[in-house]
């Protein structure tokens, strides 16, 4: 049995742990211990209770269990590097990491800093927590796995097969950088606006917000072009990006986006991982980013008030 450590027992982390544990030795690693008996509510509405091992990073350092085959980092983007740091002394530096973050902040930094292989995963699986001992698998999606420099294709294939066997359909890809930026582009057009205005995704179609969505997409499309990120669905420039954004808004019209959930819970948002790389890229390429900068400033103000 291969061993997987899952750092960050949030919704995706616990969904991963529940899915992998019948086929692999799985350990959740967090800042505190969780109840040993954990409940997964499946897509079919079935409740499945499993015994999941959880450790704190301090316990890992003391107990020195056998090194894992994979370490999944499933924290929020802003916490990924600190989370890795907290267990780095318990890991051989050749250990493969799998990064599950949104945006494009942790991925390039950790890929550069970590001596072993670093895979990135982007997923459309939907899950939410129901307290310390429960997670609901709310939407079946697909996961794409690859590494930023395409040096670890065999490992990405092995992981994709393992995830698929665990019930989370996954595919190895050679364009994970493109996919991460595409997701970031969509997130940038939806998340800040809904978080700042306290509305569900579908409301962005209304008169009050649609123009602002278009203004964000205009800046984002120019940045994507400069970054060499192909427009979605073999489309053309700004129009293709806008069409994708409206498609996602429609598909997720009743969603409370993750950034809105963060603001409501007075948690730091992922603006640094979503707006940050876009603003940095715009500045590097001499492109306009006033709209993105204004959203980032407004979110910074909101966070400062927590």
Contact between 119 and 292 under an 8 Å Cβ cutoff? The reply is no
Contact between 271 and 262 under an 8 Å Cβ cutoff? The reply is no
Q: Judged by CB under 6 A, does residue 123 bind ligand KPL?
A: no
Kindly indicate which of the ranges 28-36, 222-230, 250-258, 298-306 contains the residues binding ligand KPL, using the contact rule CB under 6 A. Answer: 250-258
Query: Shortest Cβ distance from residue 182 to ligand KPL (Å)?
Result: 11
Kindly indicate which of the ranges 76-84, 145-153, 162-170, 255-263 contains the residues binding ligand KPL, using the contact rule CB under 6 A. Answer: 255-263
Among 186, 221, 263, 292, binds ligand KPL (CB under 6 A): 186
As to burial, measured by CB atoms within 10 angstroms (0-12 exposed, 13-18 middle, 19+ buried), residue 44 is exposed
Tokens of 159: 């992981």
- The β-bridge partners of 97 are 71, 118
Q: Judged by CB under 6 A, does residue 54 bind ligand KPL?
A: no
Distance CA 118, CA 127 (A): 24
As to burial, measured by CB atoms within 10 angstroms (0-12 exposed, 13-18 middle, 19+ buried), residue 286 is exposed
Q: Judged by CB under 6 A, does residue 201 bind ligand KPL?
A: yes
Q: Judged by CB under 6 A, does residue 187 bind ligand KPL?
A: yes
At 32, phi and psi to the nearest 5? Answer: -145, 160
Determine the size of the site formed for ligand KPL (CB under 6 A). Answer: 10
Q: Judged by CB under 6 A, does residue 162 bind ligand KPL?
A: no
Q: Judged by CB under 6 A, does residue 190 bind ligand KPL?
A: yes
Among 86, 107, 122, 191, binds ligand KPL (CB under 6 A): 191
Footprint of ligand KPL (CB under 6 A):
186-187, 190-191, 201, 248, 252, 255, 257-258
């Amino acid at each position: 049995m291969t061993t997987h450590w899952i750092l960050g027992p949030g919704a995706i982390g616990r969904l991963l742990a529940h899915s992998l544990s019948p086929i692999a030795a799985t350990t959740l690693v967090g800042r505190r211990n969780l109840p040993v008996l954990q409940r997964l509510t499946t897509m079919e509405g079935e409740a499945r209770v499993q015994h999941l091992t959880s450790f704190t990073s301090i316990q890992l350092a003391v107990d020195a269990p056998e090194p894992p085959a994979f370490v999944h980092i499933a924290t929020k983007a802003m916490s990924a590097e600190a989370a890795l740091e907290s267990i780095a002394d318990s890991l051989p530096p050749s250990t493969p990491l799998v990064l599950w973050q949104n945006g494009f902040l942790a991925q390039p930094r950790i890929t550069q800093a970590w001596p072993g292989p670093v895979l990135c995963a982007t997923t459309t699986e939907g899950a939410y927590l129901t307290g310390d001992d429960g997670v609901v698998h709310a939407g079946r999606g697909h996961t794409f796995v690859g590494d930023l420099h395409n040096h670890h294709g065999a490992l990405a294939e092995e992981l994709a097969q393992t995830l698929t066997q665990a019930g989370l359909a996954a595919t190895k890809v050679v364009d994970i950088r493109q996919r991460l930026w595409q997701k970031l582009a969509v997130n940038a057009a939806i998340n800040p606006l809904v978080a700042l205005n306290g509305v569900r995704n579908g409301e962005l179609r209304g008169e009050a917000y649609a123009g602002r969505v278009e203004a964000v997409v205009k800046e984002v499309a120019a940045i994507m072009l400069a970054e060499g990120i192909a427009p979605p669905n073999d489309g053309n420039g700004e129009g293709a990006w806008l069409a994708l954004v409206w498609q996602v808004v429609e598909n997720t019209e009743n969603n409370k986006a993750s950034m809105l959930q963060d603001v409501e819970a007075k948690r730091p948002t992922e603006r640094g991982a979503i707006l940050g790389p876009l603003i940095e890229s715009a500045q590097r390429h001499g492109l306009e980013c006033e709209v993105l900068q204004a959203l980032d400033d407004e979110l910074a103000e909101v966070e400062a008030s927590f």
